[in-house]
Structure formats: C-alpha cells, structure tokens
Amino acid sequence: MQSAKRRPRSRIHVLLPFLVLLVVSCGQGSSLRTSPDAPSATSNAATRQVRAMTTPSPTPAPTPTATASTTVQLSVQIEVEPNDYAHRNYCAEGAIAVLLSTWTTALPSIDAIGVAAHVVESYGTIGANAVQAINAYLAQITGTANYAYTGTHVTSLPVFESQLEADLSGERRFTAAGHGSPVLVHVMTATLPGWGGYQAHHMIAVVGYDLAAGTPAGDTVTYAESAGSVAGYTGPQVETISLAALWTAMQNYNADITTDLVTVIS
C-alpha cells in the first residue's frame, strides 16, 4: 500500500494494531498476465495477456520447480490502477490484486479492493487494513483462515529473505495449498527503476526471486508494478532488480515512515 505523500522530484517476470497513515502514489500500468474472465478494475483499467492461468477459481499458482530453493517465479495477473488522479494512491490495492491472482481468476476490481481495504484517495491504505482485506478475500476463496497474512516491521535482511523463500516457494503455511503467493512490501520509490528519482511511499508485490548468487548484490527479485504516469511511474509493469536494491528502497521507507510500521505483508 502506499502512502500518498508525493515529494517534488526526489519490476513478475512472470515480493500492529497501532498503525496510523501511509501514503501511496500509483496510477495506471499494464498487465503481466491477464485472464480474459477476470473483472476489470474500472473501464479505464487496461490489462494485457502475458501468461494465461490454467485452472478456474480458485486457482493455485504453478508448483515451484525443483530449483525452488534458489529460484522461484510465480504466474500472476496484474490489475493496473486506472491512470487518473483519483486512483493515484491505489498501489496497495494493485498489489493485493496481484497476490489474489495466485488464488483465483475471478479477481475483484481495484475499486472493490479499495473499499475492502478502506483506502482514502488522498493518502492511500494503511498496512493493517491491507492485511485485513487480504485475509477476508482469502477466507472467501479458500474457505479457511489457514493462509492468513500478517503485517510485520522488518529491519533484518535475512528475515526478509526467509519470508520471501517461504511464501513464494509455497512452504510453511502454504504447503497445503500446493503453491506459493507473493510478498507485499513497502518502499520509497526514488531509487527504484521507472520513477526517475521521484520520491513517494509505495507498495509492490514481489512475485519471484533468484537467490543462486548468494549475495544481496548478485541475487535478484522480480516484482509487479501497478502504478502509472499519474502516480509518477513510467516503467513496465514487471521489474527485476537486485535484492540489495530492493532492500535499500525498503530501508528508505523505514527511515521515512513512523506512522505505519508495516514493512512486509507475508
């Protein structure tokens, strides 16, 4: 989710109770993999097919390959945010849609997710509300609360790596589901590709990783971007960067935010 405070000019291949507000800047984007039968966010939300899902709702993502311990790439669908001013702070909703696409083809619209997550157009969605919306949807889709997400304040890279590996490879609580699911993270945008140095509080969905190198600089992560130009983003809807680069953006969020301590939703 993202915070909607913009500052003047500061990728899936398809990753608390006392929280206050967080501002997110997002806009439109294009789709990583769109299912023709999935509802559109709004008449303005453009999506394009990248990879088709193979089973009806609820739909498990592909089972990780034999190399899942070091490399995982989830098949997901990106519901882009309408590229208009009213949706500029719907990045949390876009990230939630990506997460839900590993569980069902019948995605709710960006606007419906916004209602469920109590988005405020002027600043975005706080972490606790995003978690609540995700878990409500997953309970409806799966009929169980066994796959519930939690929001955590992560300040350790090894802890974050463990969260990525467990969720994306389908380990631990996802073992019974037979597939993995994205991890959502809060970042500051200035150091990320496609933002041109523009600084905003933001949420992205990490959908893949390659940890074969064994170092933050050599390991990579792939994430979905649902934002568009109105939000300040001009890159593709799928980005791959080093784990070190993502961690820098996450640490920048930690340094800037004191009102919404959720760094990772996993």
| Domain harbouring 250, CATH code | 3.90.70
Q: What is the mean pLDDT of the chain?
A: 81
Q: Which range marks the domain in which residue 220 is found?
A: 6-51+61-265
Residue 185 lies in a domain: yes
Residue 139 lies in a domain: yes
Residue 1 lies in a domain: no
List, for residues 243-263, the tens digit of each pLDDT value.
Answer: 999 999 999 999 987 778 999
Look at 207 and 12; give whichever has higher pLDDT.
207
Domain count, the chain: 1
Residue 47 lies in a domain: yes
> Closest Cα to residue 88, out of 218, 202, 172, 223?
202
Mean pLDDT across the stretch 226-242? 96
Q: What is the pLDDT of residue 33?
A: 43
Look at 11 and 138; give whichever has higher pLDDT.
138
Q: Is the predicted pLDDT of residue 8 greater than 50, yes or no? A: no
Residue 125 lies in a domain: yes
Mean pLDDT across the stretch 141-150? 98
pTM, two decimals, is 0.76
Q: How confident is the model at residue 159 (pLDDT cuts 50, 70, 90)?
A: very high
Q: Is the predicted pLDDT of residue 221 greater than 70, yes or no? A: yes
Residue 56 lies in a domain: no
Residue 170 lies in a domain: yes
List, for residues 23-82, the tens digit of each pLDDT value.
Answer: 334 433 333 443 333 333 333 333 333 333 333 344 444 444 334 469 999 999 998 999
Q: What is the pLDDT of residue 28?
A: 31
- Long-range contacts of the stretch 57-61 (C-beta < 8 A, 24+): 57/104, 57/105, 57/106, 57/141, 58/103, 58/104, 58/141, 58/142, 59/101, 59/102, 59/103, 59/104, 59/105, 60/102, 60/103, 60/177, 60/178, 60/179, 61/102, 61/179, 61/180, 61/181
Q: What is the pLDDT of residue 17?
A: 33
Q: What is the pLDDT of residue 9?
A: 34
Look at 251 and 9; give whichever has higher pLDDT.
251
Look at 60 and 188; give whichever has higher pLDDT.
188
Q: What is the pLDDT of residue 207?
A: 98
Q: What is the pLDDT of residue 75?
A: 96
Residue 259 lies in a domain: yes
Q: How many other CB atoms are there within 10 angstroms of residue 210's CB atom? A: 18
CA-to-CA dists, residue 222 to 13, 114, 142, 219, angstroms: 6, 24, 26, 11
Q: What is the pLDDT of residue 79?
A: 87
Mean pLDDT across the stretch 70-97? 95
Q: What is the pLDDT of residue 117?
A: 98
Q: Is the predicted pLDDT of residue 7 greater than 90, yes or no? A: no
Q: What is the pLDDT of residue 178?
A: 95
Q: What is the pLDDT of residue 38?
A: 35
